[in-house]
Amino acid sequence: MATPLHPYPQAGAAPGARAIHPAWLRITHWLNALAVLVMITSGWRIYNASPLFNFSFPADITLGGWLGGALQWHFAGMWLLAGNGLLYLALNLGTGRLRQRFFPLSPRAIAADLGAALRGRLSHADPRHYNAMQRLAYLCAMLDIAVLVLSGLVLWKSVQFETLRALMGGYEAARHVHFIAMALLAAFVVVHVLMVALVPRTLSAMIRGK
């Protein structure tokens, strides 16, 4: 039987005995972060050209300079996010990391960790272990990115993806789905950055792997 690309430490292993994050995970994580940043900021510029709601984003926080430039940045980010995201998912599945780090996940565990988080008592003592709230957040982020890509395909090639467009309720509905998915991903990024600020050693682990 083939050995996994990166075996993970068992419960009770000495802290620091093995790398927390393998190199492939760190590389795909930072590439995903770059792709998300490019897509969100260029997407805000595209949104401003045809707003869905009665507001627009400040030009200073958007990318692209004008609609054509924003679209080019957005497509570049889309291909990076789709390709790198698939590689990230495949490696997580192939190494067993997805099962080991994100499951099992139960409503009871989520409720318990949510209660601990609200009381400021959620432990981050072992960075090798994801609590239930982290597992839920990361899994939802993966699902949200998939929705972003699928709704983006409808907006990009509406005629070619006719069935997908119909499943989303039409072109305008797909625009709303895309916007909501973008907003949820932006919210995830904000919370993620705040949590890194509260537990700064997690940033070091994602850079150095240890």
Model confidence at 202, pLDDT cuts 50, 70, 90, reads: confident
- Average model confidence (pLDDT) across the chain: 84
Output the CATH code of domain 23-50+63-208: 1.20.950.20
User: What pLDDT score does 125 carry?
Assistant: 63
Give 93's Cβ-side CA count (13 Å radius): 6
Kindly provide the b/e burial profile for residues 76-94, where b requires at least 16 CB atoms within 10 angstroms of the residue's own CB: ebbebbbebbeebeebbee
User: What pLDDT score does 19 carry?
Assistant: 67
pLDDT tens, position by position, 34-48: 999 999 999 999 999
pLDDT tens, position by position, 98-110: 888 888 888 898 8
Cβ-proximal residues to 130 (8 Å cutoff; 6+ apart), any chain: 101, 102, 138
Structure tokens at 143: 């699902």
Cβ-proximal residues to 46 (8 Å cutoff; 6+ apart), any chain: 64, 67, 70, 71, 74
Q: Is the pLDDT at 3 greater than 60, yes or no?
A: no
User: What pLDDT score does 126 carry?
Assistant: 65
Angle formed by the axes of helices 132-156 and 67-95, nearest 10°: 130
Model confidence at 16, pLDDT cuts 50, 70, 90, reads: very low
Q: Is the pLDDT at 134 greater than 90, yes or no?
A: no
Model confidence at 127, pLDDT cuts 50, 70, 90, reads: low
User: What pLDDT score does 192 carry?
Assistant: 86
Cα 132 to Cα 14, 48, 75, 98, 145, distances in angstroms = 22, 37, 34, 14, 20
- Domain limits of the chain? 23-50+63-208
pLDDT tens, position by position, 47-101: 999 999 999 999 999 999 899 999 999 999 989 998 998 999 999 899 888 888 8
**Amino acid letter at 15?**
P
